[in-house]
Structure 1
Amino acid sequence: MLKRKWFLVTLILSLVALLLVACSSDDGEEADGNEGSDNQSEETEGESDAEQVLKIANDQEPAGLDPHKTPAHSSVRIYSQVYSGLVAFDENMEVVGDLASEWDQPDDTTYVFTLREGVKFHNGNEATAEDVKYSFERILDEETASHIASYFSNVESIEVNGDYEVQFNLSSPDATFLSNLTNASAAIVDQEVVEENEDLQQVAIGTGPFKFDEWVADNRVNLSKNEDYFMEDLPKLDEVIYYTMTEESARLSAIRTGEVDLTTLTAQSSELLEGEEKLEVMDYQSLEYSYVGFNNESEPLNDVKVRQALSLATDRQSIADIVWNGDAVVSGPIAPSMGEWAIDVKEHELYQNDLDKAKSLLEEAGYPDGFEITITTASTYSDMVDTAQVLQQQWKEIGVDAEINQIEWGEYIDTWVNKSADVLVGRNGSGTDPDRAMNYFFNTEGSANVWNFSNSEYDELVEEAKVTTDPEKRKEIYNEAQNKLLDLSPNLFLVSPMKYVAVRDSVEGFTPYPHDGEYILEVSKQ
């Protein structure tokens, strides 16, 4: 409680200082406050309320724009507006056509997609079945090192049946295939653009509703309306600008003064905007969960008893209360917002916060006096830093002396990819199908298994679930797999937070969804 009060006092004082500076400055002050960055006054001067320009505060600099290579949310939120996939989820999480106008499944292992005719990439090239084939072969190519390759590992071959028809032949039935196609990273790209640029980290040419115009490092990314978008009368916006604002106090100031129209917030900061005129704070239960990831090949974390001891020493409800202001629920690898797919983890033995049992397990593992360890986290996410600090205090009670290593976002992404941390605090998304939470992150061959975790019995379970099309049987398998994963504890799953978005009242038609918290296709400005 004391920590939360101190956080609020500090943040309020910071905001007062920021507002005083803002009141004494010229109207042309830059949106992100970075000295030496482009002058935003040229963009905003003369704008009226009717101009269809949406300004969004991005809490991190993009880590790159290649959809097949970059999973960071700061990148996804941008390239998901630029690219299209074959299919997408609607507001009810039903699969609907995107580039594909329709599809057919003649048998359990064959999918045939009919593409919309005349759809063009932003460079004027027409999108055809050859582009679909190339895109998925690129995802599956080991040299690409795509983070979603395991999603489509059972794609045996891809056939082009004509300019607008493409066929996927699977090696086995796959209950996840269509939902995996909705992932923003399953984007259709132009082969010509890839070959010209070697990769797509600095360029983005898709068929989506917005065109990529410019990326000014540590400042902003500009997108403009795709006038040739295949959905009639959409998008409604002419321009979208993502301003990089890593400090939440800067984002709060910017949304209050109208320098930005939309920003995400923490639970604590959302309270500071209560009663603000011309602002609305929207909340929704996320599909995310916070976690502690372990390098399962590094001593002493390669001993399951040590990982179990750390789980028993972790008071997850305290993390929900302290870090998330109580606006989070205790979670397993499948977030509770996924309903019946998620088990009630509170009943699991390793969620009971039993310090005596934790100490006993450490002694059995050969560490009766505990050990020293380093917790790595991203310095630019306050919830991750706060989580690391709470864990540091909790683990100390069983003799584990944890040092906290805070690193910048780019280095954090590299650390995650390169498996170079012993303990890593972060956040993951459960996705829209339990396969992502269970297979993608923890199968031995999972594309995002960065924990050096491998268990053949667990692999068999999640692989069986992937090919099981009966929903009730799938649930039974995933229930068993979740309990096994909690027993093995390659990660500690902590809490699933509420998400908060602050929106100016000049924004119309914005609704955040658990599977898409930034759906702006039908948004307009008044």
Structure 2
Amino acid sequence: MKKRSFLLTFMLVSVAALLFACSNDEGNNADAESDGDSSVEQVLKIANDQEPAGLDPHKTPAHSSVRIYSQVYSGLVQFDENMEVQGDLAKDWEQPDESTYIFNLREGVTFHNGNEMTAEDVKYSFERIMAEETASHIASYFSNVESIEVLGDYQVQFNLKSADATFLSNLTNASAAVVDQTVVEENEDLQQVAVGTGPFKFVEWVPDNKVVLEKNEDYYNEDLPKLSKVEYYTMKDESARLSAIRTGEVDLTTLTAKSSSLLENQDNLTVKDYQSLEYSYVGFNVDVEPLNDAKVRQALSLATNRESIADIVWNGDAVVSGPVAPSMGDWSIDVKEHELYSNNLDKAKQLLEEAGYADGFDITITTASTYADMVDTAQILKQQWAEIGVNADIEQVEWGAYIDTWLNTSADVLIGRNGSGTDPDRALSYFFHTEGSANVWNYSNTNFDELVEKGKVTTDKEKRKEIYTEAQELLLEDSPNLFLVSPMKYVAVSNSVEGFTPYPHDGEDILEVTKK
């Protein structure tokens, strides 16, 4: 059974190596003892590019956190490898009418603290997500939920305000997790603790070093997981991760296209690639001058050479993207022929002049110092925008400060990466509807809101495509973000690892993984 993802996706070699060495003796001994003996516990060691930003699935969207808590928590449903919705904590469900869903829960499922998971936990979890005081990043996913009823210990009913074509796919999000109310009340939130029903139990988090998970022996699928322990080591510097995977100190790590090419002739490794559902972007605070003028944002789009960004930042292994990544197929529009993607500097200068900025202006681009692709993108944009008189400074901030900056819209221009998700509603409504949970840009357009609201309740697929095509075109014209490129993803995997297949919707599925 394949675990669900998420959505969307955000240094010092000697320090990382030292931390790894100091904490890894026990793991190495376990591996040495397990050679040729499948009965000995198997430990998968993963080098991560970033420290978790917290462990509360209802509050923390950072991928550095999702990769951890998605292994610890379960939701009602999940995607399989073909992106078909299947049961998770819900063994099945029924839909008496277009706005009612009844989920029949698995019986005997327990949280990692031994408490039984019941329909009351489901009701509490989703009401927590929807509560204003939680400030959940996925609250808008469930804005169409009118009420939740407990029909029995193992049966729960969701009453929607109207038909909702996105409801089931939204439930597959890793943040739509069922949590234990008693744990929340004991700890006030779940940022430092993690008690779920998922395949792995949270053991410890050593800041700036590692996170350790161990197998949940009481997982409802008794055949999974196959690993006994997973150790995530924080290695912010890519050269540290590259060294660790080469020497066998770790079994798996993500790498950039440039670094992955250095492993082509490594006999003990395999590099797996896949087209991601992510895209890189430039986000604008549309409430501040001069970015509150659409002509200025359009001028910046015209001055942006996206093909150059794909070639330089991503080594050519990226495709130009709109707000819906091309890997989503027919939901995505072909943006290459759009006027604002034409890299027309004369037109850009004309728009700036019309907006009252004929001589250009000064601006600060904020980016995460820990992601080379974001830093490189900022530097390229600085050069490209200078051609139309826009003088940009670059401010690099650490990951925690970057997350706060994104949440609080405290940067005028922010470089980042988003995940399109598995439904166009995520890519459009979630980030750009006036009430969207991740609309941190202060963007608001009544026509756009009406379109995505209509798309959400339209169940005919072809009609939905027409609606979301129009919404994407409108978004490109308004340009609250500049959508850049959708990169390939690369995962370096030791040949001692079996059963690992990354998917666009879940690049870190380890349920079936074993060590040989």
The TM-score with structure 2 as length reference comes to 0.95
Residue equivalent to 2:457:
467
Q: Paired residue for 1:43, among 18, 27, 31? A: 27
The one-letter code matched in structure 1 to 2:352 is L
Counting matched residue pairs gives 500
Q: Is 2:258 aligned against 1:274?
A: no
Question: Structure 2: how far apart are the matches of 1:111 and 1:42?
Answer: 48
Q: Aligned pair in 2 of structure 1 residues 372, 351: CA closer, same or farther (>3 Å)?
A: same
Q: Paired residue for 1:142, among 132, 137, 140? A: 132
The one-letter code matched in structure 2 to 1:149 is A
In the TM superposition, what whole-angstrom CA distance separates every residue of 1:204-254 from its partner, at most 9, and x where no partner exists?
000000000000000000000000000121100000000000000000000
Q: Aligned pair in 2 of structure 1 residues 423, 224: CA closer, same or farther (>3 Å)?
A: same
Please say if residues 37 and 219 of structure 1, whose CA atoms lie closer than 8 Å, have aligned partners that are also in contact.
no
Question: Structure 2: how far apart are the matches of 1:38 and 1:440?
Answer: 42
The one-letter code matched in structure 2 to 1:47 is D
Question: Structure 2: how far apart are the matches of 1:367 and 1:468?
Answer: 42
Unaligned runs of 5+ in 1: 1-10, 22-29
In the TM superposition, what whole-angstrom CA distance separates every residue of 1:328-387 from its partner, at most 9, and x where no partner exists?
000000000000000000111101100000000000000000000000000000000000
Please say if residues 34 and 219 of structure 1, whose CA atoms lie closer than 8 Å, have aligned partners that are also in contact.
no
Secondary structure of 1:237's partner? Answer: coil
The one-letter code matched in structure 1 to 2:365 is I
Q: Is 2:425 aligned against 1:435?
A: yes
Please say if residues 140 and 436 of structure 2, whose CA atoms lie closer than 8 Å, have aligned partners that are also in contact.
yes
Q: Paired residue for 1:217, among 207, 223, 231? A: 207
Secondary structure of 1:201's partner? Answer: coil
Secondary structure of 2:133's partner? Answer: coil
Please say if residues 47 and 253 of structure 2, whose CA atoms lie closer than 8 Å, have aligned partners that are also in contact.
yes
Question: Structure 1: how far apart are the matches of 2:184 and 2:53?
Answer: 18
Q: C-alpha displacement at 1:45, in angstroms?
A: 2.5
Residue equivalent to 1:100:
90
Q: C-alpha displacement at 1:520, in angstroms?
A: 0.3
Question: Structure 1: how far apart are the matches of 2:134 and 2:249?
Answer: 39
Q: Aligned pair in 2 of structure 1 residues 35, 341: CA closer, same or farther (>3 Å)?
A: closer
Please say if residues 461 and 478 of structure 1, whose CA atoms lie closer than 8 Å, have aligned partners that are also in contact.
yes
Please say if residues 65 and 200 of structure 1, whose CA atoms lie closer than 8 Å, have aligned partners that are also in contact.
yes
> What does residue range 114-125 of structure 1 map to in structure 2 within 5 Å?
114-125=104-115
Q: C-alpha displacement at 1:89, in angstroms?
A: 0.1
Runs (4+) of structure 1 exceeding 3 A deviation are 34-39
Please say if residues 19 and 209 of structure 2, whose CA atoms lie closer than 8 Å, have aligned partners that are also in contact.
no
Relative CO higher for 1 or 2, CA cutoff 8 Å, sep ≥ 6?
2
The one-letter code matched in structure 2 to 1:168 is F
The one-letter code matched in structure 2 to 1:225 is K
Q: C-alpha displacement at 1:44, in angstroms?
A: 1.9
Q: Paired residue for 2:289, among 284, 299, 306? A: 299
Q: C-alpha displacement at 1:42, in angstroms?
A: 3.1
Identity among equivalent pairs (%): 78
The 10-residue stretch of structure 1 (444-453 or 36-45) with the greater mean CA deviation from structure 2: 36-45
Question: Structure 1: how far apart are the matches of 2:499 and 2:214?
Answer: 19
Residue equivalent to 1:352:
342
Q: C-alpha displacement at 1:35, in angstroms?
A: 5.5
Q: Paired residue for 2:55, among 57, 61, 65? A: 65
Q: Paired residue for 1:312, among 302, 325, 340? A: 302
Q: Paired residue for 2:438, among 421, 425, 448? A: 448
Secondary structure of 1:122's partner? Answer: coil
The one-letter code matched in structure 2 to 1:217 is P
Question: Structure 2: how far apart are the matches of 1:240 and 1:38?
Answer: 17
Q: Is 2:488 aligned against 1:498?
A: yes
The one-letter code matched in structure 1 to 2:57 is P
The TM-score with structure 1 as length reference comes to 0.94
Residue equivalent to 1:235:
225
